[in-house]
Structure 1
């Protein structure tokens, strides 16, 4: 690191759990963020300000006036721009050293298969169930840690799904792909603006911890926030031995370990 970087990241370097070595790990890391909206905004800003060297943003939407109530990486001057381009400008303003790959594309299975393989950590900041399942499948396939968040109305949730840990569940263990439910989105249901900031910031924190190799991630724990009461609840979540996504992968890995 040069003198300017030592100064910029000094408050990280002062932390015994990070130090110069940890900060160098962040500078060399690659984070993939799916979604540049309410959750992706604070997540990307904090990863960039923390010095994650390469951030890939994926979103196929454009900035709309209604987004500005909560999507803090965007501003009035960038209404109409692709969200990934707007977000890249926002990240460059806070840390021009970060390399940002801005992809205005829908996160389908083929794209995710390519991008997840290249990333060190994946943050799911998307807003629909099908995309979340596709992200999870790719993370399991490539053994990449996934930080998944969600927020609607006054309710938020966050967890880490780390398929590198044999006993840890994947997203599909907790939310099976064949689940039947009525999907709610911010566009039709609304969302309390600071809620996405809370969840998105926590996603950044969990992502940084994973990149640094720190213990105590949310793997195996699902945290849920009631934003009205500002009350957290946590449940322990376990791997489903019959999971359609990760059970076969874990069986294969266990067999390889035995042999």
Structure 2
């Protein structure tokens, strides 16, 4: 306990809190600008087991904000470098290395092994994937994000009636709407500040020494030091966007969800007028639907989209389960950029019975 003497003498931590830290298992997803300070401080605080998830290599442009790495590490896997450095500093910590990116096929297996998950990523497909898996597994999730001079921090799925990321942002923005750090720039100290706050929230969750940012989001402006809190409430509509099971989640394409193609329910679609319906199922798939202004064009024939013609600027696309229609809408949007294509959630399987 000598190493942790200064925090153990804190009344709110004590030996009991330190024991909780030593027994905790934390999964850190992303070893970039946010992940570096998080890993440093949680390791120093005495967290017993930390899983490191990142499939990226160290690059020279990372070094202004990813302070674990140096010029001699360029070209190496971030997970390898981080585990070597932390293991040398703290010999008693157990590190599990996952040198790959999470996807719907592997996320459940990795996340299920840990008590607490921290999202230090900077892309929306992974952010929504991690949120949905943590929601289904009832795993507390520490969230943080940065944009230019501003940062956000919150804790999701903690306790009864807890909110999750979709209660804040139900649907992802398109990839065209939100640029990343390489496009907008970032001052290296900002991810350090936000990452340190995320580490603090993680220690709160593990030890209970103070109330975490549960159902609240902290917004911080590093230029002015202004900050404010946004209170969250569970959003029933947003919850319907989360897959209902592991099997359903594994069928989703989270890259597509961030492509900018809208997805709506049958109830929403059937209220619309002056639209065209497009059935992209194969001719043998049943049942057929009796919809006004409907055309059938199988997804298997999308190699020649010059065969299809639309008489409306807005087209609702559906298939049997809602998967092919998403992919079809992306291809159609590329071929007909001036028309709006919308995928119907759940496909014919979700068509209203009444």
Could you tell me the TM-score, scaled by structure 2's length?
0.66
One of 113, 116, 120 as aligned partner of 2:111? 116
1:198 counterpart SS class: helix
Alignment of 1:16-55 (within 5 A): 16-55=11-50
Deviations 1:23-70 (A, max 9, x none): 111111110011000000000110101010110010110001111101
1:216–1:246 distance in 2 versus 1, CA, 3 Å: farther
Give the number of equivalent residue pairs: 243
Name the counterpart of 2:98: 103
Provide TM-score, normalisation by structure 1: 0.89
Matched, 1:227 2:222: yes
Give distance in 2, aligned partners of 1:248 and 1:130: 18
Q: CA deviation at 1:94?
A: 2.6
Partner secondary structure for residue 156 of structure 1: strand
User: Pick from 176, 200, 223: which aligns with 2:170?
Assistant: 176
SS of 1:118 mapped into structure 2: coil
Corresponding residue for 1:155? Answer: 150
Displacement of 1:247 after TM fit?
10
User: Which residue of the partner structure matches residue 253 of structure 1?
Assistant: none
| Structure 2 residue ranges without an equivalent (≥5) | 246-354
Work out which of the two has the higher radius of gyration on C-alpha atoms and give 1 or 2.
2
Q: Is contact 1:153–1:192 with CA below 8 Å preserved after alignment?
A: yes
Contact preservation (8 Å) 2:17, 2:209: no
1:129 pairs with 2:144: no
Structure 1: gaps (5+ residues): 1-5, 250-259
Task: Tell me, in whole angstroms, the C-alpha distance in 2 between the residues paired with 1:53 and 1:95.
Answer: 10
User: Which residue does 2:285 correspond to in 1?
Assistant: none
Structure 1 residue ranges (4+ consecutive) displaced by more than 4 angstroms after TM superposition: 178-181, 245-249
* More helix as a share of residues: 1
Separation of aligned partners in 2, 1:115 and 1:212: 23
Q: Which residue among 149, 152, 159 is the counterpart of 1:164?
A: 159
The residue matched to 1:71 in structure 2 has which SS? coil
The alpha-carbon distance between structure 1 residues 42 and 183, as it changes in their structure 2 partners (threshold 3 A), is same
